[in-house]
Amino acid sequence: MAGISQLLEKERVIAVVGASRNKDKYGYKVFHTLKEKSYRVYAVNPNASEIDGVRAYHSIKELPEKADLVIIVVPPHIAKKVVREAKEQGISNVWLQPGSEDEGVLALCKELSLNCIHGLCYIRDGLKTDFIL
């Protein structure tokens, strides 16, 4: 088992699904913060070609390399699709940001045997938590 800080130290490639061009949105803040901390991070947004000065991808299937962790910042009905795509791509770690989770998404993560962090916000809780995955 690993804590969030250990997970983020270990995972080399992070995808932020729901990354936003709008600097006021959490999707932008999560992506920008990870980028500023020098993580190898990819923005995923089907409606953007660039976010915060870097190329955005329409889905995790399009990424040039497999993500080790997917941070999800989209509504639950979209999060379900992202969780399925993560499993199909062989990604085992997902972090559902507040507002992305509901009982159906959590049940799907369990059904697919994904390591799922939920109930914690990257911006608010970041690496300060002792949550164990």
- Rounded to the nearest angstrom, the gap between the alpha carbon of residue 92 and the centroid of all alpha carbons in its chain is 12
What is the spatial distance between Cα 10 and Cα 76, in angstroms, rounded to a whole number? 27
Say yes or no to pLDDT of 132 above 60. no
Say yes or no to pLDDT of 52 above 50. yes
Annotated domain spans of the chain: 4-125
Domain boundaries 4-125, CATH class: alpha beta
Give the per-residue pLDDT at 106.
94
Bridge partners, residue 51, by sequence: 54
Give the per-residue pLDDT at 70.
95
The pLDDT tens digits of the residues spanning 2-46 come to 555 555 565 579 999 999 999 999 999 999 988 988 889 999 999
The pLDDT tens digits of the residues spanning 73-108 come to 999 999 999 999 999 999 999 999 989 899 999 999
SS3 50: strand
**0.75 exceeded by pTM:** yes
Number of neighbours of residue 92 by Cβ within 10 angstroms = 15
What is the spatial distance between Cα 11 and Cα 23, in angstroms, rounded to a whole number? 25
CB 4 within 8 A of CB 133: yes
